[in-house]
Homo-oligomer: A and B are copies of this chain.
């Protein structure tokens, strides 16, 4: 019989044991921070009605979408984000949920046939949102939780670049150009990469006067500190109410961020931040690692006015953010943080043959009660082969039983050894390191 080639689809990939262990550890830390801030989990199917995922019943195709007709004749699709499923979920269970509704959701999403080479078609999204609340507390909480996540992950100092959509909208109001917000934002979004000239050309094409363009560029420049940035924005928006509300919002959020004990420097007002042109309506945020600004944002979010308008008549405003788990995995690698070993075990126990397994199993079980992950080498092999196995899997300690019933321990990193009368002594040695 000919073999089937073992392979994955283009854009889909396996996680090797060390990568999977690292991701599991990151996710657990992220979840712990979410839970500590009052966000609980939900779950929803990966496969949904295509009309739900597409946000319309029409037949328009979306090249990125994995869609098909199931064996019951239904038009179905793999979800391509967690926001649309959240909107559907909240609309469907509106009567059973308690609002303001906080949730986090860690789940796979699918985007196919994208032009970029090597991009993942299956990836893990990690979102936290608070639905049904407006105001400073809700906005601040999102930023506080985000900053707490990165702090817990131990990826070095980060910066949350924060803006409020109302500021630019208010500014555009002052010269009657509010309707040009989207093209103006789109132009501003390119500023960092392409420079002011390109932005001026685009804004002119959008119908903005030269003087207005200069006022926008002048206002939308981050200053030496947050106070200076807000002062410049205050001058720019004058007494426009919307603009002032945006500035007041930023100021209040900053106070709560600091009150929560987060690093004040981690919050930086940056009027050039746009994010999700049609979606966000208030505060917006983009997270970057100070050590690796070039890898791009490792998280983002903001406030929106109407989450689920396609599925319910209720208006549900919210604020939320995504943590970029894949980017963070890449960042840890780029920062040279050692990948974890293939094995979660702290201890491997060797044995000279099946007749000697009982004390080995008892020793492993006893070490586990001390919080030490332990495994017994799983088959009868020569001692050298057992030692090499522990080494290759990266197990840090190996124990072998002596004839008198005591245990010989070896620390693999430096070859240090010791003799221990029982598991308690062995555990104390390990814990002391």
Contacts and interface: CB of A to CB of B under 8 A. Distances in A.
Contacts of A432: none
Scoring A35, A141, A260, A311 by chain B CB atoms within 10 A of each residue's CB, the highest score goes to A260
Given A144-B365, A357-B256, A40 B21 contact: yes
Interface string A129-157: 01001111110110010001000000000
Contact of A15 (B14, B20, B43, B343): B43
B7 A52 contact: yes
Given A6-B52, A52-B4, A361-B260, A344 B47 contact: no
Interface in A29-81: 31, 35-49, 51-52, 55-57, 63, 66, 68-72, 74, 76, 78
Given A12-B47, A21-B40, A137-B379, A6 B342 contact: no
B310 A49 contact: no
A9 interface: yes
Nearest to A310: B4
Interface of A: 3-10, 12-17, 20-21, 23-24, 28, 31, 35-49, 51-52, 55-57, 63, 66, 68-72, 74, 76, 78, 88-89, 91-93, 96-98, 100, 102-103, 108, 110, 112-113, 122, 130, 133-138, 140-141, 144, 148, 252, 255-256, 259-261, 308, 310-313, 342-345, 348, 351, 354, 357-362, 364-366, 368, 373-380, 389, 392-393
B312 A14 contact: no
A293 to B, nearest CB: 27
A46 B122 contact: yes
Contacts of A130: 378
B357 A140 contact: yes
Given A71-B63, A100-B378, A354 B92 contact: no
Shortest 3 CB-CB contacts between residues of A and residues of B: A38-B375, A68-B68, A12-B45
Nearest to A120: B45
A93 B52 contact: no
A13 B38 CA distance: 24
Contacts of A360: 137
Given A38-B343, A40-B21, A49 B7 contact: yes
8 contacts: A4-B311, A14-B89, A36-B368, A47-B78, A135-B379, A138-B378, A255-B358, A260-B364
Contact of A42 (B15, B71, B362): B15
A71 B9 CA distance: 12
Contacts of A103: 17
Contacts of A47: 9, 12, 66, 78, 110, 122
Contacts of A261: 362, 365-366
Contacts of A16: 42, 93, 96
B344 A45 contact: no
A358 B137 contact: no
Given A44-B14, A362-B259, A66 B57 contact: no
Contacts of A136: 354, 357
Nearest to A20: B41
A133 B57 CA distance: 53
Contacts of A135: 354, 378-380
Contacts of A3: 310-313
A393 B310 CA distance: 27
A98 B385 CA distance: 12
A392 B14 contact: no
A133 B261 CA distance: 52
Contacts of A141: 375-376, 378
Nearest to A42: B20
A93 B15 CA distance: 11
Contacts of A35: 344, 373
A312 B6 contact: yes
Contacts of A365: 144, 259-261
B357 A98 contact: no
A78 B16 CA distance: 20
A344 B40 contact: yes
Contacts of A68: 68-69
